[in-house]
Amino acid sequence: MSLTLQESCQLYERLARRQKVIPTFAEFNKQNFTCLPANQQVECDFVSVVIKARKAEGLPIRSRLFSLYRRLTKSNVDHVAQEVDATPAPAAKSFVVSESKYEKAMRMSIRAPTPPVENEAGPTPWTLEEYVEAVRTSGLGESKGLMVHFMPPYKGDPLSSLASKLTKTTWEAIRGKSAETSIKMKDGTMMDLSSAQMNTEDVKKFVHNRKKKVEGPYFIRFSSI
């Protein structure tokens, strides 16, 4: 019996985080009895993100990647990628992530993504009001209100992994004024803002309030790229 689509995506993501050679969806289905659908665009997008993450931190990859399951379920493709021939065509070759001379330059404690909390209807989304209240009761405070809370679309990640003290590094990174895009979170992990799509209006409000010396905490909605 083959795995479900969600189980197939999780298995593929785990392999991609740990191995240099990434099989195509078709190869992976043949080897693992999975049911990844034939979607070349999503497949290529995912591998591109993996390559970028591996160049930044090496193996295993622990930074946030976009959800393969959510991306595939949004597509209109519903047929499973076919098993590969004994002699695959060039387009069906496994993806090989090239070595980078910089990949060992830094090893940051970047957290692995936490699967979203799901109910019978699927992943449970956050509302801003719920998130603000959850933060308020979590004890993740800072005496001067210098804390930025990043709100993901769905529940699942620990709130401490989404909160960052407002330092100069964080301030510059959020505004895109620094070459350094990774910021330290309350739980000690790092969050790479280059892999996140932040809500433009939230960022503008955050910058305006800081310049006007409006006390935080501050909230910025985001989604993974």
Neighbours of 138 (CB within 10 A): 14
What is the rounded distance in angstroms from the CA atom of residue 208 to the CA atom of residue 224?
24
For residue 100, pLDDT beyond 50: no
What is the rounded distance in angstroms from the CA atom of residue 2 to the CA atom of residue 117?
24
What is the rounded distance in angstroms from the CA atom of residue 193 to the CA atom of residue 196?
5
Report CA torsion sign: 120, 130, 146, 207: positive
Higher-pLDDT residue of 57 and 84 is 57
Question: pTM for the complete prediction?
Answer: 0.51
The confidence band for 121, taking pLDDT boundaries of 50, 70 and 90, is low
For residue 198, pLDDT beyond 70: yes
For residue 119, pLDDT beyond 60: no
The confidence band for 127, taking pLDDT boundaries of 50, 70 and 90, is very high
What is the rounded distance in angstroms from the CA atom of residue 151 to the CA atom of residue 159?
9
Write the CA distances from 171 to 181, 201, 207, 210, 223, integer angstroms: 11, 16, 9, 9, 19
- List the one residue out of 27, 35, 30 whose CA is nearest residue 79: 35
Which tokens hold the place of 210?
């800081």
